Amino acid sequence: MSIQNKFLLDPARAVLVVIDVQEKLCAAMDQNALQQLAKNTGILLESANELAVPVIFTEQYVKGLGPTLAELKSRAPAASCHEKMTFSCCGNGAFIEQLKQSGRTQIIVTGMETHVCVLQTVINLLDDGFKVHLVKDAVMSRSSDNKQTAIEAMMLAGAVPTCTEAVVFQLLKIAGTESFRKLSKLVK
């Protein structure tokens, strides 16, 4: 496997997964960190929309945690959304089936909580042979120690650590296009 194939994103092979950024769960988070997560996830959603990268939302126990934040859902109205009870998104058969049927192999992961649902999902995705790009500035936990520990574990397991701006420019690939002009404004 080439280094580029693992570390550089390709819009034709990527899927953006937004894990459990739900109203009631967000209320328990540090609000400054949540604001940053929402901003970065919004940038990723707009980039995915512009570059035809499919988006999947997941929601953990909607009855108790509420729906995905409306400000995020509105940026990808055509995206599928899978409700789950398992912490790993891969415990939802429809979620993993959608990924496999897409034929895409690169999964861009954002969401919460990093040490629970994000961690378990990433481990399962890696085990299923996907290349996972963990957007470190678009994941969060109630505790920064829990977040950092989970990020380290996912990196040890083989996830590629990345950030919002790197994802945007890897998906764009070149400057000077209309998409570049539109999306580069989002990260200034």
Q: Is 20 a catalytic residue?
A: yes
Query: How far is the first Cα of the chain from the last one, in angstroms, to the nearest whole number?
Result: 34
- Please tell me which residue in 26, 89, 90, 117 is annotated as part of the active site: 117
Whether the CB-CB separation of 157 and 109 falls below 8 Å is answered with no
Rounded-to-10 torsion of CA 60, 64, 67, 72: -70
**Which residue out of 84, 131, 136, 147 is catalytically annotated?**
84
128 as an active site residue: the answer is no
Strands (E), the chain: 14-19, 55-60, 80-84, 106-112, 131-140, 160-162
| Alpha-carbon separation of residue 82 from 13, 37, 88, 137 (angstroms) | 21, 20, 12, 23
Active site residues: 20, 84, 117
